[in-house]
Structure 1
Amino acid sequence: MIGNLQIADDIPLPIILLDPNALTLDWINQSGQSWLGSSVKTLQGKSIEDIFSHSEELSEAFEKTQAQQVSVRVHDLVVRPRGRDEVKCELVTFHHDSRVGLCFRHVGRQTQKIDVFGDGASALGRLLAHEIKNPLAGIQGAAQLLRDDIQSEEAGDLLSLIESEIARIRRLADRMERLGDVTVSEFAELNIHEILRHGRKVLQSGLPDHISFTEHYDPSLPNTLGDEDSLTQAVMNLIKNAAEAFPEDHVNPEIRLETSYRATGTSQPIEIRIIDNGSGIPDHVRDRIFQPFITHKPGGQGLGLALVSKVIAAHNGLIEVRSRPGQTIFSILLPSAERNAS
């Protein structure tokens, strides 16, 4: 089930969580209750056939998500809630903690796509920040106790890395409490190579030893303007995404981190590339990979890349992806601090 149901409760889209064994409604958010005209107490325990008139497409999407633990999107789905009018909508099914979720978009006469990370951003940010800060206090306390016992310089360096990451995540959580309110006035000049090196250092210690990293950076690149913590998190999300692209039996898995100057007249000349030689992104997912709830990974939630896209957009940047079996390239394009200053 979604870790904190209050988070999904504040999203301005109807969301239903189903028990895949009993095939009954387990939970529904406020938007869903308003759409169906019934309370969660009334709907809980009812089968999907009790809630909607039979829909072959809805049933097929549910069964695929249940069997393969992947998200499925159905365009122009016509559904009829029991006792209500027929509506055309877009359905996204997703797997979460043994449940199957249904998220409906463009419900009724709605003509504009709702931005999950816009309309519900403030409430979502506050709730996520609360959930993150609670365990951080315990981790920080444990780190302080460990510092009294360490003896080697290497252990001290690792503990310093843990403490710096705790501080960074705490700052990030503070910003999440006002998600969507980041402004250029809060940005500072950043060396993107320092962000890439830090992200690799933090993640590499937790990845399998057989995954190799190579780095090719252009030392002549200018600085960019940005928020260090959120850009670091975006880069780390992409590196982690690359590491998860390798099947267990993959031979010589490699992640390459590269930078260059894209001299094409673009307003975002700083290019960052995160490249892996994994399985690639399926064609049916690639064009929608930055949309919420879109994923091809078993057990994935489809939120990580959507958040990365939001962070890059907040920095007046662009993110692109090219993928085929054996190579996936995520490219981030950012403006230079010099261009922003002018």
Structure 2
Amino acid sequence: MTFYPIGRNTKSNLFRSLILLLDLSREPIMLFDTRQNRILYATPRFCELSGYYLSELLKQSPEDILGGENITDYADATDVNLTLQSKNGNVLSVVGRWVPLGLPEPWAVVRISPSEDPSISMQRWWLQVLEAFGELPRLFRLPNLDRGVWEAANLLARLFEVGYVGVYRADSRFPALQRMAYVGNESLFPETLPTTDLIRLATSTVWIPGKRIITETHRIARMRNLSYVVSAPIGLEQAMVGLLVVADWEKSPPPFLLEVATMVAGYIDVLIQHFLLSESLHVEKAVYQHQEQIRSTIVENSHEGVVVLDTALLVEDLNTTAEMMFGYTRNEVIGHAVENILISPDRLMPALISASHGKSFPSLPGITLHRRNGQSFPADLKILPVERDGKVQAVVVLINDISENEQIRAQTRQLEQRAFLGEFMGVFAHEVLNPLNGISTGLQLLATRLGEDSPHRDLIARMEADCNRLAHQMEALKSLSKPYEPKQEPVNIGEVVSRLVERWRPRMARLKIMPIVQVDDNVPKVLGDWRALEQVFMNLISNAMDAMSQEGGVLSVRVKRNYSETLRPQVEITVTDNGPGIPEEIRDRIFQPFVTTKPHGTGLGLPITKRIITAHHGTIKVSSFPGGTVFHVYLPAIPEEEG
């Protein structure tokens, strides 16, 4: 725009005329005095673009408005790229042209053309805002809350290029708002704010110097000469959890800062609630996993079988005990009807159907169930519905296999009967021995009175033999029925066995039996009664000789160390013969009283043998087959430092 002289009017008339002409233009134009370097006038469009009132512009220098540039340094009527400093702190890129007016006064105009339409610039800025808000959802994937809040504060600081953004949070453990994140100059605001500010700043607010101070936040802003403070509450009005504070000390609050800060505060509130919920869910998950691990350990190691059914009475799960009890694996039965698994002749299904409708059966004793192989067994059952909010969610069946208990009870009864029988036999043997001794004495006296040629002497001899045999059996019964406590002393078991074999060697020779004795070196001693132990091996060797008395054979005795049966060292003694073996029908009962393979045996030798070995804390085992029998005796060895 070029202006020409308009006559010799007075200076004031010239100025008024010039203003009228400038107002006719719709362009942003500024009139200034080049000599005094001050602004004389600006068109309404220029005031609108810069954000200043005309009265405010008249107090400024052109350089203050044009980013420090002195436009008079450029050539006349030349377009120059300038920056226009708006009142709200925004910097606008514009094109300026300095045009001297050629008047007596040193006046010139600067015609401003925006580099682009302001509406387009504002549209671009809002696109940046939308793009920035599009990044916010990723904050939910960050590892912790503090990092997410800092990212949200940093987004706000980047959009408006402000000096400080702080996020304060209420904490029941502290009597003040604690700063959890900040961006910018840390010294502008302290780390804590009073909780009263959260109440008084319940709505988003802009404070600038000159306004009333109602909070500690405003007082701090005035003390530190801040140009503005924007605050936005975090959370709902009835449940505020924090405060978002935005401040600067050099420029006015940018447009839309209050609105965008309010949006960011709302997002931070959602972020806080998200992380609180995630933390709560994490804790609940950890507690649930802990409880589930305990429950699983208890269920899997329970002696009771556990079968879980859904409301349609289909199998959902079962524990290891139930798998072993019925012979099914978990994968085989899940999803199958319960009547295919819990097979019973008893009326079990009505109870299960009632349980699926909420009725519990805490005790169903003596129910007969069937295993996969068809074998039946007795069991005690509990059928319990699992309810939540008054609705049945599942049915749990607890199964206690009592067949083993029945066996234990039968064995206990048998042991009680044997104890009673043993006590009775002891008394019986004592009562029989007295008259038996009298009979034997009478027979001996009668034999002395009869002559040598008396036909009754053979009868009396047979009767005496029967009395002796009966007396021997009674003595064995008395020995079996009496409590036995062995005398404790170190015994060289190899010497005991070797001595016995040497004693029996002549008889073995007559029976064509070859004895073989092998005692390993350094066999430790055992603690016990050598006389009782001698009786044990005398019984075993005597039985072996009897087994081979018809055709002869080999009798082998081996004494050695043994570490395989228990952790403590033992002495193992094996007595082996190559006789006909023990018949299969009595092999499992060979250590029971009155069980024998001898025509005239008492059946008490091996029970007494086992009793003596048990009293010495040892064990005896037998393995037999057609053509041989082996007895294994294990006795605890004395540690070498004690022996």
With the length of structure 1 as denominator, give the TM-score of the two structures. 0.48
Q: Which protein has the larger Cα radius of gyration, Structure 1 or Structure 2?
A: 2
With the length of structure 2 as denominator, give the TM-score of the two structures. 0.27
Question: Which one has more relative contact order, counting CA pairs under 8 Å at least 6 apart?
Answer: 1
